[in-house]
Amino acid sequence: MSIRTAVVGLGWAGRELWLPRLTEHTGFDVVAVVDPAPRARTVLDAAPGVPVHPTADALTARAVDLAVVAVPNHLHADVAAGLLRRGVSVFLEKPVCLTSREADTLAAAERDGGATLLAGSAAPHRADVGALANLLPGLGRIRHVDLSWVRARGIPQAGGWFTQRSKAGGGVLFDLGWHLLDTLTSLLGPARFTQVLGVTSNDFLDTGAWSAAWRQDAVPAPAAGGVDVEDTARGFLVRDDGVSVGLRAGWASHQARDVTRIRVTGSAATAELRCTFGFSPNRHPHAGLTLTREGTTTSLPVPQEPIGTEYRRQLDVLPGVLSDPGHRGRTAEEARTTVRVIEDFYAAARRAHEQTAVPAHH
């Protein structure tokens, strides 16, 4: 039986990622769409005849099994919690929450409503990430992981809510960094972080020349509160299992292409994946996977697949996860760990900025 599904939010993710894939998938039946904007019905070519509601309050557990929530970041927790309390399971786009308190709110709503919270996390469903994961048992004891996703030019909606901390929670660390941390968890399993150091910068936000034109977003009005997020984040983290992590995320840079790199160093060998996450056309031409052992680097075959296949693959496994009662509570707990890392990262970055703003005493 198909899962009766509502899409909540028709921004880029709801409109381009989820609505067409849900409509095409035999395991899902799109029965409602939620968006307050009058333009919402004009973008529903993929789901003609589906009712459009201005708010998620119209969705009930009698009519909807699952709500795919893709609203702006600052609305994630409120919208998802309201649905969960009414017994509607939620598939929530990243970032799942913006604070530890929001993670607690989601966990309580999930318990109270008896529904299930699931998280959008496409990167672990990529075939090349799966190929990297298959190499991990042969690397020996994992010592260090380098994670980076750096775009050449790719600031989303420069001047819109993405660049306002009050609405986005932060900048590239919440956007691309959340994907990288999700991928780390998928590779090594969940863990808490005992040490977090990080710095941020915003050298590219002042000009539209660095925007992600490929997203084809409407040009927003200038942000009332101004641009106050980072376009680049660099950090060093230590997990409670002793694994150290280098993290770099960038919406823009001086490089020519958008490149994602994951390098896992173990006691016996090192494996490295170079590819490009996401939909940017300015991508690394082919995913590459290498294994380095005792001074010899070997290139390994890696599956090549159409851009965006990982989103369809995530939908393929979603019904099984949704029906597993053992999954309930897991998403909120993992989100709590991730958002605490981000909170600690920003706190470290603020301390570093304060120190550099004051002349050092010699």
Say which CATH topology domain 3-120 has: Rossmann fold (3.40.50)
Q: Which amino acid is at 356?
A: T
The residues spanned by each domain of the chain are 3-120, 123-311
Helix locations, the chain, DSSP H: 12, 19-24, 76-85, 100-113, 127-135, 165-168, 172-188, 309-322, 330-357
Tens of pLDDT along the chain (362 residues) come to 899 999 999 988 998 899 999 999 999 999 999 999 877 666 676 667 888 999 999 999 999 999 999 999 999 999 999 999 999 999 999 999 999 999 999 999 999 999 999 998 899 999 999 999 999 999 999 999 999 999 999 888 756 788 889 999 999 999 999 999 999 999 999 999 999 999 999 998 866 667 765 555 444 444 455 678 999 999 999 999 999 999 999 999 999 999 999 999 999 999 999 999 999 999 988 999 999 999 999 999 999 899 999 999 999 999 999 999 899 999 999 999 999 999 999 999 999 887 765 454 44
* Cα gap 84→324, rounded to integer Å: 16
Residues 6+ apart with CB under 8 A from 116: 89, 90, 110, 322, 327, 328
Q: What are phi and psi for residue 230, nearest 5 degrees?
A: -95, 150
CATH number given to 123-311: 3.30.360.10
Q: Answer yes or no: are the C-beta atoms of 84 and 290 closer than 8 Å.
A: no
What is the pLDDT, as a whole number, of residue 94? 93
* Cα gap 173→342, rounded to integer Å: 7
What is the pLDDT, as a whole number, of residue 358? 47
